[in-house]
Amino acid sequence: MSDEIDDMYDTFSEMLDKWPPAETVKRLEQFGIDAEKIELIRERHEQKLARIRELEEPQTVVRGNRDTWYTGPRPGDRCWPALERSLQDRGWSDASIKSLDESSSRVVSLLDHPREPAFSTRGLALGYVQSGKTTNFTAVMAKAADRGYKLFIVLSGIHNGLRRQTQARLVSELVEPNPDRWSQLTNLDHDFVPPANAASFFGNSNKTRVLCVVKKNATVLRKLAKWLEGAESYLEGCPALIIDDEADQATVATKSINPLIRRIMAGLPRSAYIGYTASPFANLLIDPSADDLYPQDFIVNLPKPVGHFGTEVLFGRYALDGEDPSDIDDGHDMIRTVPWTDIEHVRPSTRAEVDGFTPEITETLRRAVLYFWLVVAARRVRGTGNPHNTMLIHTSVNTSVHNSFRAPLEELRAEVRDAIDDPSLLEELRVLWEKETGRVLAEEFGETAVPFDALLTELPGVLGSCRVIMDNSSSQDRLDYENGPLVAIAVGGNTLSRGLTLEGLSVSYFVRAVSAYDTLLQMGRWFGFRNGYADLPRIWMTDELSEWFRHLATVETEMRRDIDVYLHNPNENPLTFAVRLRTHPSLQVTAAAKMKSAVKAVSSYGGARVQTHCFRTDAPWLGQNLAAARELISQITANNAVAKEDRSSDGSIIFRDVPYDVVLNFLGEYQFHEGSGEKSAKLARENNAKLITEYIQKRVRGAGALRRWNVAVIGRPPKGPDSDLEFAPGVTVGRVTRAKLATGSQGFADIKTLMSRKDAGIDLEGEISSMTEHQLRDARRVQLPTTGLLTLYPIDRYSEPVPAKKQRQPLDAEEHVIGVGLVFPEPDGPDSAVEPEYVSADLSGVQLEDFEEEEMLRLIEGEDA
């Protein structure tokens, strides 16, 4: 049959390029070709077209030379067109629908053809928190259903709320538009209960698609696996698609859920598994050689939707190698500081303090709640966007702590409601509103500013309708967005941390300390879309948490960039693919159990750039660094073997062929900052003088690399004593300006980025400013393959920010600051084996609530379905 179809395709291929789909069938029928062969010829033609579209978004890493059989919807499809119409009715733009169509088609194209006699596909789709992953996998399911996939199993988190929400979405968007095409094994009220007759779902007489939405709960999955095993005789011809929503939660390295998912797949001769997550760290660290759920067939970077509020948009990020720091945004000015002195008043410090804990309405919590009520009033004045309004308070995982917030919050509501005409309260509200709307202008988001006086008529109604809801695993009073517009202050923990959408979320008060990237990222319920009120969201949190999220934004960007880089290497596939995950001194990448098969976190400086961006601002600390820099330059200028290249007219001076021991002496005297949060943490990998020194010594001992260094002083053209800094006689440059992020911390400055791409190539020949990152690396590999670069930046102690940088403040240090950058050549040959050992984060000094793993285990192992 295959050879016959090949011959027929070769005969008709040119005509197939010209005919529309309906005409294709008509013409081929005229040649006496039966319907089954016509379908196979058309599929062969689609495979050809798919290869032309291989490079379209979303970008992917694909194992081997998999045939791409799906190129998009066809005229006879029913499920995707129905979903598309639903999205149009809900106001989706043509551009957004087109993006969804393209990304979901790409995912479906990476699955096996449903007519293959046997297959077991395993893939991973990387989205963003609250970015529409559910809509994407709904589109994938619709298209797969249109093409012949029959059984659809959706693993929907570990909580009933998310399972029910997902069931409702899929019924609304897949089942109800085509009720004759679908059968359901689950419903809104009940998780999986084994039906009596499997043949009624999978027998040859039943042509419907079968939908099953289940929690990742051991009891539920065990029942499903056993029922499918009992239907074995009916499943041989049943292509199945398993969607694992929140695929990093409970799926990886669990004693019951992971084996049960694999048991379900083993019982399905034709099965495709796709994990969907915004925090894929655990999934990317699964042992590829084990019989596990590593995405061995494909990895997909889903596109970021237009208008999405993500980590980088809110918190900014640090520049990566090759990026111009001036092109990297600091994020919107929507983060407000909760001082550490407030923490003990809103969450217990230890388990022993949980019982009987009573929270206080601190000044920052009061401001957050008052601002929320003002936002609700403003949104009512505008009359646009999501009709719901939610505030999130998340301080602890413990349900008794959640419940303890009800009385203080209700008392605050009653106090404000009763004093709504009091002049002092009105003045407090006016000052708060005008200050916040002055920091974030509505016009910058395409919105219309709402004056304070316009809020006054709405405020009484807002206060009267606002509910305080405890949403946790033990509460009965849950968020319900199905019975009219809701105004709610939601106090909760893990039930609000995964997948569940908080409709109309505008204000978050978040001081929950956690220990891992994925846990922290998933708790950011403020990510998502804010149509109609994009100027109004605010988040209250500690400066340390804010820095953690900024670090996570950098990790996310670097991870996705790594995937994009590997795309262009035809020799790479998911079984050789290793994504770098940047470490942090106070956070784990993921839970320890999920990292057993991973290579330990390393400090690999080969080919890397290290730059200081965090500093203390007191004179003694800064004075020691200034003295260390001056001593370094004095030693260099006293060495007649060192060549000096004076570019002071451009603001820089370069010294070439500096002995490595001089650089090591400097690293022994220069003080790197201990961390970028308010609480002291161990030295970050990038700023660890001991690790850097060990690395240099190993390179020197190994293959003789890094014996020589180029040292560059980088500033501005000198103008006079008021603006210059002298390092040594004859070595003077103008000071540079580096304003700090507006973190609110005292005695600490984070300038975010120090070194530009041009600076990193200052000792290279050629037109550096026009070089790409890859060209810079190539130039260093050719010109200076074993030479390191050390850069010194004299930073003005005042460093006023430019007006456009709203989230910057004057540096306001007690002494001029010395910034340091290091550029390491890439190791080559034997030298590449002497990189330092990987180091793990030391979490002993961080106050954490590590109850989440316990609660998750209770939920997934529990007998309550």
The pLDDT assigned to 588 comes to 81
Strand 151-156 and strand 209-214: the pairing is parallel
In the chain, what's the furthest Cα-to-Cα distance?
A: 94
User: How far apart, in whole angstroms, are the C-alpha atoms of residue 92 and residue 252?
Assistant: 35
Is residue 84 scored above 90 in pLDDT? yes
Q: What's the whole-number mean pLDDT along residues 461-489?
A: 86
The pLDDT assigned to 498 comes to 60
62-66, 658-662, 716-720 — which is least confidently predicted? 62-66
The pLDDT assigned to 840 comes to 27
Q: Average pLDDT over the chain, rounded to whole?
A: 85
Residues in Cβ contact with 326 at an 8 Å cutoff, skipping those fewer than 6 apart: 756
- The winner for highest mean pLDDT among 14-18, 284-288, 755-759 is 755-759
How far separated are the first and last CA of the chain, in Å rounded? 48
The pLDDT assigned to 518 comes to 85
Q: pLDDT band at 158, cuts 50/70/90?
A: confident
Residues in Cβ contact with 414 at an 8 Å cutoff, skipping those fewer than 6 apart: none
Is residue 864 scored above 60 in pLDDT? no
For 614-635, write each residue's pLDDT tens digit.
899 999 999 999 999 999 999 9
Q: What's the whole-number mean pLDDT along residues 56-61?
A: 56
User: How far apart, in whole angstroms, are the C-alpha atoms of residue 676 and residue 187?
Assistant: 48
103-112, 219-228, 485-494 — which is least confidently predicted? 485-494
Q: What's the whole-number mean pLDDT along residues 340-353?
A: 91
Is residue 601 scored above 50 in pLDDT? no
Q: pLDDT band at 287, cuts 50/70/90?
A: confident
The pLDDT assigned to 1 comes to 53
The pLDDT assigned to 264 comes to 96
How many beta carbons lie within 10 A of that of residue 303, not counting itself?
Answer: 19
The pLDDT assigned to 581 comes to 76
The pLDDT assigned to 473 comes to 67
Is residue 587 scored above 70 in pLDDT? yes
Is residue 836 scored above 70 in pLDDT? no
Is residue 298 scored above 50 in pLDDT? yes
Is residue 377 scored above 50 in pLDDT? yes
Classify 823 as helix, strand or coil.
strand
How far are the Cα atoms of 15, 282, 557, 566, 579 from residue 572, in angstroms, in the given order?
A: 36, 20, 20, 7, 12
Q: pLDDT band at 863, cuts 50/70/90?
A: very low
Q: In terms of pLDDT, which residue wins out, 680 or 31? A: 31
Tell me, what DSSP letter sits at residue 320?
P
Q: What's the whole-number mean pLDDT along residues 569-591?
A: 68
Among 604, 712, 596, CA closest to 654: 712
Q: pLDDT band at 590, cuts 50/70/90?
A: confident
The pLDDT assigned to 681 comes to 37
Q: What's the whole-number mean pLDDT along residues 794-814?
A: 88
How many beta carbons lie within 10 A of that of residue 636, not counting itself?
Answer: 23
The pLDDT assigned to 819 comes to 96
User: How far apart, in whole angstroms, are the C-alpha atoms of residue 485 and residue 119?
Assistant: 46
Burial class of residue 668, CB neighbours in 10 A (0-12, 13-18, 19+): exposed
The pLDDT assigned to 452 comes to 98
The pLDDT assigned to 64 comes to 60
Is residue 382 scored above 90 in pLDDT? yes
Ordered domains of the chain (ranges, CATH): 1-52 (no CATH), 61-306 (3.40.50.300), 309-550 (no CATH), 603-834 (no CATH)
Judge if the upstream peptide bond of residue 58 is cis by omega within 30 degrees of 0.
yes
The pLDDT assigned to 523 comes to 82
Q: Which residues pair with 749 in a beta bridge?
A: 615
User: How far apart, in whole angstroms, are the C-alpha atoms of residue 191 and residue 312?
Assistant: 37
279-288, 576-585, 702-711 — which is least confidently predicted? 576-585
Sheet holding 505-510, edge to edge: 335-337, 538-541, 505-510, 389-394, 487-492, 467-471
How many beta carbons lie within 10 A of that of residue 177, not counting itself?
Answer: 17
Q: pLDDT band at 385, cuts 50/70/90?
A: confident
**Which two three-digit tokens encode residue 648?**
């002071």
For 440-470, write each residue's pLDDT tens digit.
999 999 999 999 999 999 999 999 999 999 8
The pLDDT assigned to 606 comes to 78
The tokens 């005695």 sit on which residue? 747
User: How far apart, in whole angstroms, are the C-alpha atoms of residue 423 and residue 140?
Assistant: 57
Q: Indicate the residue type of 393.
A: I
For 684-725, write each residue's pLDDT tens digit.
456 778 878 888 888 887 768 899 999 999 999 999 999 999
The pLDDT assigned to 659 comes to 96
Q: What is the pTM of this model?
A: 0.70
User: How far apart, in whole angstroms, are the C-alpha atoms of residue 782 and residue 462?
Assistant: 67
Is residue 506 scored above 50 in pLDDT? yes
Is residue 370 scored above 70 in pLDDT? yes
